Amino acid sequence: MYAVTSLLFLLVGFLLILVIRWQLAYPGEPLPFLGELFGVANAPGGIILPEFYNQLGAMHGTIMVFLGVVPLAVGAFGNYIVPLQIGAPDMAFPRLNLASYWFYLAGGIVMLVSFFVPGGAANNGWTSYAPLSDLAPGMGQTLWLGGMGLLIFSSLLGAVNFITTIIQLRAPGLTWFRLPFFVWSQFITSFLLLLAFPALQAAAILQAMDRLAGTSFFLPSGLAVAGQALNVAGAGNALLWQHLFWFLAHPEVYVLILPAMGIVAEIIANNTRKPLWGYRLMVYSVFVLGFLSFIVWAHHMFLTGMGTTISAFFQATTMIISIPSVVILSSLILSLYGGSIRFTSPMLFALAFLPMFGIGGLTGLPLGLATTDIPLHDTNYVVGHFHYLVAPGTIFALFAGIYYWFPRVTGRMMNDTLARIHFVGSLICMNVIFMPMFIQGLAGVNRRLWDGGASYEHAQGVLALNIPMSHAAFTLGFFQLFFIVNLFVSVKRGRKVDANPWQATTLEWSPAGAPLRAYRDPYEYSVPGALTDFTPQGEAKP
Amino acid sequence: MLEWLGMPVAASAHAGQVDFIMVLVHWLMLVLFVGWSAFFFYVLVRFRRRANPVATHAGLQGSWSTWVEGGVLVAEVALLAFFSIPAWSARVDAFPAETQSTVVRVVAEQYAWNVHYPGADGRFGRTTLQLLGPDNPLGLDRADPTAKDDITTINQLYLPVDKPVIVHLSSKDMIHSFALPQMRVKQDVIPGIPQPVWFTPRQTGQWEIACSQLCGLGHYRMRGFYTIQTQAEYDAWLAEETALLATP
């Protein structure tokens, strides 16, 4: 349920960005075929209005992060795979799990419905900075806050469930350092969800009060909008929203990334036929990442007027947090050394994750140093940076996970040829979309511009890049058809396989009915002297 | 490498320093990426199933990866301690004296930059919400003696070259961001939190002020112009504007 719903939301979020990409490539030209469908209020004659453009931008971000990637990575993979990998009969609280799903679905529906209320959906960016969001007319922003409230409830319920399940329901013999890395990643992710989300929950309630009850938590005194002094109490602080928002939203970044690293680690161990290199080091690194992710949030806010001391602190924590990320990424690359690498379809996506995530991580460096952030802040460089992490990074890992665990769910394999076409097409398109963003950003082109910067002199030299970028985005959509068709056809027609088609070691691949017990480390591949090149965790020692 | 990065012309005193750090960071990124990629592709080819049918349980031996990770850490600490933090400190701590600088207020609103010069007396006139109007976007009180010589413009910022500039930023409504790409200046303008920013222009020219923070549906067209002139040109412009003030 999680998987299907979140894949649908990913598709919706992706379609929104295709409309944006049309507008960026051909500003002010009517969107062919579909443009008229958005209605006169949004796109008269198919021409996308700036108001509608901002709705698309805000909702693309919100849907992709909160309704697509997190529910897929945590809700779907976590709830399905974690109990299987730890040999538990189910999650500790199945009803909590169900409640979490319904809250998620309700939040998603509220978000989608908001497109159809007067004034349309929220249009203040996925970050919803006050006072813009506080003062936004229409119901869209209020619904966004309500939807976020439901989604946060969903995440909190899920997080409690994961923590309890992983602590309490591990199979006999499955000690902490025998846990598959994926379980570790979900464990830390759950703590991030549990501890970070309440901050935004509180902030959302405050903002809703500002909008509905006339309070001024985020509204300073002396505001004048459109030449008119604003009749509000004032004395609030607009910057407070940013602190509360990023206190959630930076750990959220690791919520997006850690499960992806977990999936990639599983697949690399399986397809190199050897244990992960530096498993313990990786586990410690995930701990450090989780902890540090709570004290880097203000690196999103260097240009809000930060003094030397505070900026030095957040620059330092930001540089420090790059070290455990480097350790995990290096460990995954070093795990390949000495392996017998099988280029299966999940492995292709998992391998591509490494350099793509690397680009995303490296381009975080100039953004994390306050001085170089000055010219780059709020430009397309930032957009390229986090999309490399999340799109060819996390989403590739999620594809890898789907191809890898599909036989566990359905008993059938997905088609390999279609998967390879999907892989090559997606990899090329993703890079054609996101790489030019760095060039545009360095040239100073700002993000969130309705015309893509067409009116700016300094953008002229790099503006033409928008056209190949947008066409690559449309082509990327085309290549996803191979995935969608593969998914549907394979459910019914895929090649039938036995319980352990990848010859994997972890407990989720144990034969049906076997007693679940762990006797050894998670990735005992190619053990010297063993009969096969894999020794399942559940196989008793002779 | 600076040419490859394709940044706008560096036209302020500190721009060179920002760009230098930018180049350093990108070198570090390039070296790491090329190094990791080379290893990555070597391993993919060397240890593909056909070339290496049996995996080794132990994997890579040796501790050189620790050295690489340590090296990354050292490089980052160096960037931070010797470059980024001092450069930042120069931006936010070492403000020049107002008497030695061109001082100007910029008040952002949806979707324009209102510029306020103090005039010959060097003092900004009183502004108030009550006086806001279509022809007085700053709410400037002309009855105030210090306001009589104040010059105001919309979306036009004129500054002399080779002299420090202090811009006192504030916003009437939303969060905007005051960006002068060629000066390597960008500063969020948050309502309720007035914020100064300073720089020293080193080249004359006319460029754009770009709003860098989503501020509403007209964000994309919140574009102003700034002109860096020689001192003589700037003085002439000031005189011209002052003369205009006298004629009702």
User: In this predicted structure, what is the pLDDT of residue B233?
Assistant: 97
Residue written as token pair 């490089």: B75
- The CA distance from B187 to A506, in Å, is 52
Q: Which of B65, B92, B119 is the last residue of a domain?
A: B92
**What are the backbone angles phi and psi of residue A287, rounded to the nearest 5°?**
-60, -50
In sequence order, what are the residues at sequence separation of 6 or more whose Cβ sits closer than 8 angstroms to the Cβ of residue A233?
A214, A215, A216, A219
- Kindly tell me the burial class for residue B94, based on how many C-beta atoms sit within 10 Å of its own C-beta (0-12, 13-18, 19 or more): exposed
Q: What is the CATH number of the domain that holds B141?
A: 2.60.40.420
Domain co-membership, B144 together with B63: no
Nearest Cα of chain B lies from the Cα of A89 at a distance, in angstroms, of 31
Domain co-membership, B108 together with B16: no
Residue A65: name the closest of A128, A118, A141, A117 by CA.
A128
Domain co-membership, B208 together with B117: yes
- The CA distance from A516 to A504, in Å, is 15
In sequence order, what are the residues at sequence separation of 6 or more whose Cβ sits closer than 8 angstroms to the Cβ of residue A336?
A268, A272, B40, B43, B44, B47
CB B159 within 8 A of CB B228: yes
Dihedral, A378, A382, A383, A384 alpha carbons, nearest 10: 150
Domain co-membership, B18 together with B129: no
Cross-chain residue pair A359–B22, CB shorter than 8 Å: no
Q: What is the CATH number of the domain that holds B15?
A: 1.10.287.90
Q: Which of B63, B92, B121 is the last residue of a domain?
A: B92
Domain co-membership, B79 together with B103: no
Number of domains in chain B: 2
Cross-chain residue pair A451–B220, CB shorter than 8 Å: yes
Nearest CA in chain B to A220: B192
Nearest CA in chain B to A136: B216
User: In this predicted structure, what is the pLDDT of residue B126?
Assistant: 95
Q: How many CB atoms lie within 10 A of CB A479?
A: 18
Domain co-membership, B56 together with B107: no
| AA identity, residue A379 | T
The interface residues of chain A toward chain B in range 60-79, judged by CB-CB distance below 8 A, are none
Q: What is the mean pLDDT of each successive set of 10 residues along chain B, which is 248 residues long? A: 91 96 96 96 96 91 85 93 94 94 96 95 93 92 93 97 97 96 97 96 97 95 97 96 85
Residue A109: name the closest of A159, A146, A58 by CA.
A146
Token pair recorded at residue A338: 């000495």
B17, B77, B185: residue with CB nearest A319: B77
Domain co-membership, B9 together with B86: yes
Q: Which of B56, B73, B92 is the last residue of a domain?
A: B92
Domain co-membership, B103 together with B187: yes
CB A286 within 8 A of CB A279: no
Work out the angle between the directed axes of helices A2-25 and A94-113 (0-180°, nearest 10): 30
CB B148 within 8 A of CB B125: yes
Q: Can you list the domains of chain A with their CATH numbers?
A: 2-217+234-509 (1.20.210.10)
Residue A62: name the closest of A130, A158, A128 by CA.
A128
- The CA distance from A104 to A447, in Å, is 29
Nearest CA in chain B to A524: B57
Domain co-membership, B167 together with B236: yes
Which letter, b or e, does each residue of A315-345 get, where b requires 16 or more Cβ atoms within 10 Å of its Cβ?
bbbbbbbbbbbbbbbbbbbbbbbbbbbeebb
Cross-chain residue pair B5–A442, CB shorter than 8 Å: yes
- Kindly tell me the burial class for residue A67, based on how many C-beta atoms sit within 10 Å of its own C-beta (0-12, 13-18, 19 or more): buried
- Listed as ranges, residues in chain A with pLDDT below 70 are none
- The CA distance from A503 to A173, in Å, is 21
User: In this predicted structure, what is the pLDDT of residue B20?
Assistant: 96
Give B54's DSSP letter.
S
ipTM of the complex: 0.95
**pTM for the full predicted model:** 0.96
The interface residues of chain A toward chain B in range 319-358, judged by CB-CB distance below 8 A, are 319, 322-323, 326-327, 330-331, 333-343, 351, 354-355, 358
- Kindly tell me the burial class for residue A172, based on how many C-beta atoms sit within 10 Å of its own C-beta (0-12, 13-18, 19 or more): exposed
Nearest Cα of chain B lies from the Cα of A226 at a distance, in angstroms, of 7
A132, A237, A339: residue with CB nearest B55: A339
Nearest CA in chain A to B28: A362
Range of the domain at B153: 98-246
A273 touches chain B (CB under 8 A): yes
- The CA distance from B111 to B101, in Å, is 28
Domain co-membership, B134 together with B231: yes
Cross-chain residue pair A227–B207, CB shorter than 8 Å: no
Q: Which residues of A touch B39 (CB under 8 A)?
A: 333
What is the sign, positive or negative, of the torsion defined by CA atoms of A102, A107, A112, A116? Answer: positive
Q: What share of chain A is helix, strand, coil (3-state, %, to 5)?
A: 70, 0, 30
- The CA distance from A425 to A476, in Å, is 7
- The CA distance from A338 to A336, in Å, is 6
User: In this predicted structure, what is the pLDDT of residue A25?
Assistant: 94
Domain co-membership, B48 together with B113: no
Domain co-membership, B7 together with B123: no
Please give the C-alpha separations between residue A373 and each of A442, B2, B79, B246, in angstroms, as whole numbers.
11, 16, 13, 44
User: In this predicted structure, what is the pLDDT of residue B248?
Assistant: 63
